[in-house]
Amino acid sequence: MKKILLFVIFSSFLFSTEPIEYGWDIPHTPLRVGGYIDALYDKSIEEKFLFEDLSLLLSANQNRFDFLSEIEISHFNLDGKSHGSADIDPNFERLQLMYTIDDTHAIKVGRFNSDVDFWNQAPVNILQETTTVPHITRSLYPKATTGISYIKTFNDEDKFSITFQNNRDIGDEYADWVVADKHISLAYHGVNDEFLWSLASGFYREEKSQHEAYYAGVGVEYEYKEGVFQAELFTQKGEEGLSKPYSAYLESTWNFSKRQNIVMRLEAYDDEELATEEVVSLLGYVYRPFSNLALKGEYVHHSDLPLNRFVASFSVMF
């Protein structure tokens, strides 16, 4: 198994070039196959080094239909175990079909990323500036929805969506984020030159605990020549003692060279479920020698929980 993993890593680096598109077209079909690998080093976990994600992407476009499948093995260590088990259990991270009604209306069904905040639009390590994620993304709303979504676009950029789920989630049973069997959400994403903003609100019921909660949030993002500034604020109202009154972060990315970024993030949250109210600060470095390869290192400091640590990762998209 170790030899297979090393071969996968080596092959991935061979494909670390500057292609305009990634993946390969399957001849005589509308299908395209690709994937990505995320390897993680984290001193705070028992397995110091592991493959956070091994993902295979399969997509297709035919007339007004767009199909995307993402099959993933997560928390995979060098001993060939996933989540501590020798049984490898692939998970459907995404399995979605979108039908474009016309230039401004579309319907999406299956399992897809919940259309909520900035982070959840592309929850793939290589596309993000840090390996660790804010408290918002794991604790305030379902990361994925197994259901149906209606999408309305305005001016080719602004977007409004309504999402509905009333069934079991078909994703990973080991997920360390909110997994729901009921989810209703409204979201609006706006664009004005270099300025982006978003509004979202919704209701969900957790699949295992049956805990119900309402959430709402707002986000802004500003892109400038030297980098990106991003901020979000969410609140969640649940059962007594299980609310999250606020969770917010400010993040600044400085592009000090073509392939190197410095990232600073400051976040604060009040989580009644964890009985924790704390401030988390992060200082990180990102190096992208190629557009489909990212090397990251960051130090995370918690004011309350004993989770101060250094985290490093490399990610390859192919």
pLDDT at 298 (0 to 100): 96
The one-letter code for the residue type at 52 is E
pTM: 0.87
Confidence of residue 1 (pLDDT cuts 50, 70, 90): very low
Spatial distance between the Cα atoms of 136 and 200, rounded to a whole number of angstroms: 13
Q: What is the mean pLDDT of residues 262-272?
A: 97
pLDDT at 173 (0 to 100): 63
Confidence of residue 47 (pLDDT cuts 50, 70, 90): low
pLDDT at 194 (0 to 100): 87
Q: Which among 283, 274, 286, 272 has a CA at the least distance from the CA of 308?
A: 283
Is it the case that residue 291 has pLDDT exceeding 80? yes
Is it the case that residue 245 has pLDDT exceeding 80? yes
Spatial distance between the Cα atoms of 207 and 75, rounded to a whole number of angstroms: 22
Q: Which among 174, 191, 2, 10 has a CA at the least distance from the CA of 84?
A: 174
The answer to whether residues 120 and 128 touch, using CB atoms and an 8 Å cutoff, is no
Six-digit token string for 143: 């990361």
Is it the case that residue 15 has pLDDT exceeding 60? no
pLDDT at 83 (0 to 100): 52
Q: What number of other Cβ atoms are within 10 A of residue 62's Cβ?
A: 10
pLDDT at 5 (0 to 100): 43
Domains of the chain in start order, with CATH, are 2-317 (2.40.160.10)
Q: What is the mean pLDDT of residues 238-262?
A: 92
Mean pLDDT of the chain: 87
pLDDT at 79 (0 to 100): 58
Q: What is the mean pLDDT of residues 182-194?
A: 94
The answer to whether residues 23 and 318 touch, using CB atoms and an 8 Å cutoff, is yes
pLDDT at 80 (0 to 100): 55
Cβ-based neighbours of 59, under 8 Å, separated by 6 or more:
23, 31, 32, 34, 66, 67, 68, 69
Is it the case that residue 42 has pLDDT exceeding 90? no
Is it the case that residue 283 has pLDDT exceeding 60? yes
By mean pLDDT, which of 48-62, 97-111, 132-146, 271-285 is the weakest?
A: 48-62
pLDDT digits (tens, 9 = 90+) for 129-175: 999 999 999 899 999 999 999 999 998 789 999 999 999 999 876 56
Q: What number of other Cβ atoms are within 10 A of residue 282's Cβ?
A: 21
pLDDT at 237 (0 to 100): 96
Q: What is the percent of the chain where pLDDT is above 70?
A: 86
> Which stretches does DSSP call E strand in 168-275?
180-192, 195-206, 212-224, 227-238, 244-255, 260-271
pLDDT at 187 (0 to 100): 97
